[in-house]
């Protein structure tokens, strides 16, 4: 049996604006995605001694997740096999650490890890463009996650997210708190709220993309952070809104929602390269209030 374990990284959105609704119902977006060092270890193995050609078996540490074709990682393995049939049995295991349905691309990054892992184990039959095209068939965030799971940690995504440009990641040593308060948000509902409320457009992603391209310091980039879903979602998610406000007044130099929520992210500056005490204090306070807090850093 040959196997590989891929770190399937979570992502946050440094910028996310819905810029239009197409006649087919899809929404056009402009987004800058950035990977963080919170990850699911995803084990991908091919058991060549197993006679059941094409069989996929998946296990997961979190019993809340389906381990069949409902799991995006399982579907990724099946999609890979449509382009490159695998001789033997594909075995997958997800050690689930990224909060589920948190706006952190947890399912997408597991799927991406399966594509990257299978492609590696099979001797790279798919080149990068082919892998990204296959990833896009699984979901809008999966191509970025393929990049992140293979070492490119930031990208600009346009249109439905499929027009992607790799960017230099944000250079900041901040301690990040990813805060989940247990107020679920369904992504289709969040897009519906955007349609209904039509929040003010912030302009476009060009400024932040240009700042990252020219390796501008974090102080220049942070004022450009934007998530249009905040205005649409947070008024009906008071605990997430309160967590965001709390971090802003307790040492975070930036705080925002990730994706369509409900996870909110605080960025606490490191002091002389050491993790922020303010972040540790804020995390403790938020946990006392019943939030789940994940501490991580930007990947760069």
Among 11, 40, 149, 174, the active-site one is: 11
In the window 132-191, what residues touch ligand ATP (CB under 6 A)? Answer: 141, 187
Residue 37 annotated as catalytic: no
> Among 40, 110, 141, 174, which one carries the catalytic annotation?
141
- Nearer to ligand ATP by Cβ, of 60 and 211: the residue is 60
* CB of residue 127 to ligand ATP, shortest distance in Å: 25
Map the footprint of ligand ATP across residues 66-105, applying CB under 6 A.
71-73, 94, 100-105
User: Is 11 a residue of the active site?
Assistant: yes
For the chain, the three-class secondary structure string (H helix, E strand, C coil) is: CEEEEEEEEEEEEEEEEEEEECCCCCEEEEEEEEEEEEEEEEEEEEECCCCCCCCEEEEECCCCCCCCCCCHHHHHHHHHHHHCCCCCEEEEEECCCCCCCCCCCHHHHHHHHHHHHHHHHCCCCCCHHHHHHHHHCCCCCHHHHHHHHCCCCEEEEEECCCEEEEECCCCCCCEEEEEECCCCCCHHHHHHHHHHHCCCCCCCCHHHHHHHHCCCCHHHHHHHCEEHHHHHHHHHCHHHHHHHHHHHHCCCCEEEECCCCCCEEEEECCECCECCHHHHHHHHHHHHCCCEEEEECECC
Closest contact distance (angstroms) between CB of 263 and ligand ATP is: 8
Residue among 44, 88, 90, 107 that touches ligand ATP (CB under 6 A): 107
* Closer residue to ligand ATP (CB): 251 or 262: 262
Q: How far is the CB of 106 from ligand ATP (least distance, A)?
A: 3
Task: Check binding of 65 to ligand ATP (CB under 6 A).
Answer: yes
**Size, binding site for ligand ATP by CB under 6 A:** 18
Binding of ligand ATP at residue 262 (CB under 6 A)? no
Restricted to residues 1-30, the positions that interact with ligand ATP (CB under 6 A) are none
CB of 228 to ligand ATP, least distance (A): 15
Active-site annotation, residues: 11, 141
| Chain positions contacting ligand ATP, by CB under 6 A | 65, 71-73, 94, 100-108, 110, 141, 187, 259
């Amino acid at each position: 049996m040959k196997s590989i374990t891929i770190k399937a990284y979570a992502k946050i959105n440094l910028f996310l604006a819905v810029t239009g609704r197409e006649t087919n119902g899809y929404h056009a977006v402009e987004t800058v995605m950035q990977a963080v060092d919170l990850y699911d270890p995803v084990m991908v193995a091919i058991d060549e001694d197993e006679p059941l050609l094409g069989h996929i078996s998946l296990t997961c540490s979190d019993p809340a997740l389906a381990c069949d074709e409902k799991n995006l990682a399982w579907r990724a393995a099946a999609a890979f096999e449509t382009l490159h049939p695998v001789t033997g049995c594909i075995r997958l295991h997800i050690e689930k650490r990224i909060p589920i349905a948190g706006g952190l691309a947890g399912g997408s990054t597991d799927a991406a890890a399966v594509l990257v892992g299978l492609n590696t184990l099979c001797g790279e039959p798919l080149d990068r463009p082919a892998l990204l095209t296959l990833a896009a068939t699984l979901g809008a965030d999966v191509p970025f996650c393929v990049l992140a799971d293979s070492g490119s940690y930031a990208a600009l995504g346009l249109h439905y997210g499929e027009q992607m440009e790799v960017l230099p990641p944000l250079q900041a040593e901040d301690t990040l708190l990813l805060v989940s308060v247990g107020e679920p948000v369904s992504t289709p509902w969040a897009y519906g709220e955007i349609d209904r409320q039509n929040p003010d457009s912030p302009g476009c992603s060009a400024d932040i993309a240009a700042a990252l391209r020219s390796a501008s310091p974090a102080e220049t980039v942070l004022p450009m952070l934007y998530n249009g879903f905040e205005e649409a979602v947070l008024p009906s998610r008071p605990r997430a809104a309160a967590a965001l406000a709390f971090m802003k007044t307790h040492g975070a130099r930036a705080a925002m929602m990730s994706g369509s929520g409900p996870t909110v992210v605080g960025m606490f500056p490191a002091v002389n390269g050491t993790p922020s005490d303010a972040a540790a204090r804020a995390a403790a306070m938020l946990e006392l209030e019943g939030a789940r807090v994940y501490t991580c850093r930007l990947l760069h």
